[in-house]
Amino acid sequence: MKFIGTRGGKPVTGAEAIVRGMAEGGGLYVPEQFPAVTEDELSAMLGMNYPERAALIIGKYFDEFPADELLRELTAAYEKFEGEDPVPLIRIEDGLYILELFHGPTCAFKDIALTVLPYLMRKGCDLLHVKDEILILTATSGDTGKAALEGFRDARGVKVAVFYPDEGVSKMQKLQMVTQDGENVDVVAVKGNFDDCQSAVKKIFRSQECRDKLAERGVLLSSANSINIGRLVPQIAYYFSAYCDLVTSEQIKMGDEVDFSVPTGNFGNILAAYYAKRMGLPIGTLVCASNRNNVLTDFFRKGIYDKKRPFFRTMSPSMDILVSSNLERLLFELCGRDPALVVERMKSLGGAGRYSLRPEELREACELFYAGCAGEEDTVECVYEFFEEFNYPLDTHTGVAMHVAREYCRKRAEDVNLQPRPMVVVSTASPYKCPQAVYYALTGNDVKDSFKGVKRIHLITAMKVPESLKALRYKPPRFKTLVAPDKIFEEVMNFVG
């Protein structure tokens, strides 16, 4: 299987796409074609455990990686998750399910790909005979950074530098990052919000001068952000797995369509669902749920992507994003895989701050996706009511997805031409990860300290507290640097030494 860039360039192998991170001209790597999963393969997956299911899906994209080794690495990665099943599907009631993706070492869904990416990167380098040291450079809205730090901690031949917006991650997220162990890691706060931080980091990726300076020191730049195809592909697997679990638990029959609602920021998670659909998984509608930063809702409703708007800090910080990087991959498909058109639109986004879809592209987008958003009040009410009704504590990101999922289900129910369809809401974080916001949503009360929040949520819900968050309380912070966005590269050079 080869990969091509959304902005053109020649096809490369999976290993090359993973190691490089970003394609030519600032584009993103996409598969040359979508590999199919046959009905027989899907049936065979029913009897598999999660690492086996994931190995089947990932192996279709990265076919130069030895299959037995891939399975061994996936098994080892998912052994780091708490509980029997790394991605359990919870039945709430008939037709409503939650896919819990937060049982990994950092309690957010990004662990699912970032516990596997170090292997893909290391093996990718071996396959390409790359001898340079790899520098993983990452901008994070809170969860990617920690998951990357934890995933790559003390990995051979790799350094990790994580930049996070000083105003824009939860206290718990910050604490997770600044207490990170490992000899090969650097964690730095950046003045401003996530988009400031992300665009400064993207500039380094695009700059040949920066790459040359790093190359002089024997360092090759790569990314653990969801622009890396090695992040995206492992995420496809849990959509297949959730579907299999619905079949084996007799909630649906093989072939029935299922909807997924995904709390969306950079559009990586939901894009993986779209890829699953293109591979043949019977998915109905993909519900794209945004918080108050609802640039994607407007995009799917009006066909215009317009980033020129106020930026809001919300109680779902990992979704506080105005430029969703992975949307470029969807755009590439919607426009008939025309790199020139993607280049034109990205130029327009960089300049005027907006671009629009052609009517037929918008029509296709609306057949695939339903987009909605939840304001802060909506989210609080959803988390509160969901706990009242089902005794299940949602985190605030998942609360956004649940709010929009229920709105979509109501709309379907009102339409006499439509049959009800099972809905899987993708839960991306443990409720203990943003404990103050969740405690407020559950009780209407504030709590000053994150760990008090954890304790009180536990008292109310009796949900198990993840071991990794418990341990955090007694760890001293290691990283205190704060820089302006234009000083990021300097910091990087200091770090690589």
Ligand X SMILES: *Cc1c(COP(=O)(O)O)cnc(C)c1O
Instruction: State the nearest-atom distance from the C-beta of 401 to ligand X, in Å.
Output: 8
End-to-end CA distance of the chain: 37
Q: Is 13 left (phi over 0), alpha (psi -120 to 50) or beta?
A: beta
Among residues 27 and 142, whose Cβ is nearest to ligand X? Answer: 142
Instruction: State the nearest-atom distance from the C-beta of 140 to ligand X, in Å.
Output: 9
Residues 363 and 422: their CA atoms lie apart, in Å, by: 24
For the chain, counts of helices (H) and of strands (E): 22, 16
Among residues 264 and 314, whose Cβ is nearest to ligand X? Answer: 264
* Residue 421 near residue 261 (C-beta atoms within 8 A): no
Among residues 108 and 457, whose Cβ is nearest to ligand X? Answer: 108
Strands 304-306 and 423-427, by their bridges, are unpaired
For the chain, the residue count is 497
Burial class from Cβ neighbours inside 10 Å (0-12, 13-18, 19+) for residue 254 reads middle
Contacts of 74 (CB under 8 A, 6+ apart): 51, 54, 55, 58, 116
Among residues 59 and 263, whose Cβ is nearest to ligand X? Answer: 263
Name the nearest CA neighbour of 425 among 411, 446, 405. Answer: 405
Binding residues for ligand X (CB under 6 A): 108, 110, 143, 226, 263-269, 318-319, 397, 428-429
Name the residue type at position 247. Answer: V
* Residue 431 near residue 393 (C-beta atoms within 8 A): yes
Instruction: State the nearest-atom distance from the C-beta of 411 to ligand X, in Å.
Output: 22
Among residues 61 and 109, whose Cβ is nearest to ligand X? Answer: 109
Among residues 294 and 341, whose Cβ is nearest to ligand X? Answer: 294
Strands 133-139 and 158-165, by their bridges, are parallel
Residue 421, SS3 per DSSP: coil
Angle at 443 between CA 311 and CA 464, to 5 degrees: 95
Instruction: State the nearest-atom distance from the C-beta of 162 to ligand X, in Å.
Output: 14
Instruction: State the nearest-atom distance from the C-beta of 50 to ligand X, in Å.
Output: 19
Instruction: State the nearest-atom distance from the C-beta of 404 to ligand X, in Å.
Output: 13
Six-digit token string for 452: 């008090």
Among residues 121 and 271, whose Cβ is nearest to ligand X? Answer: 271
Among residues 293 and 428, whose Cβ is nearest to ligand X? Answer: 428
Among residues 28 and 429, whose Cβ is nearest to ligand X? Answer: 429
Six-digit token string for 448: 């000053």
Residues 328 and 23: their CA atoms lie apart, in Å, by: 12
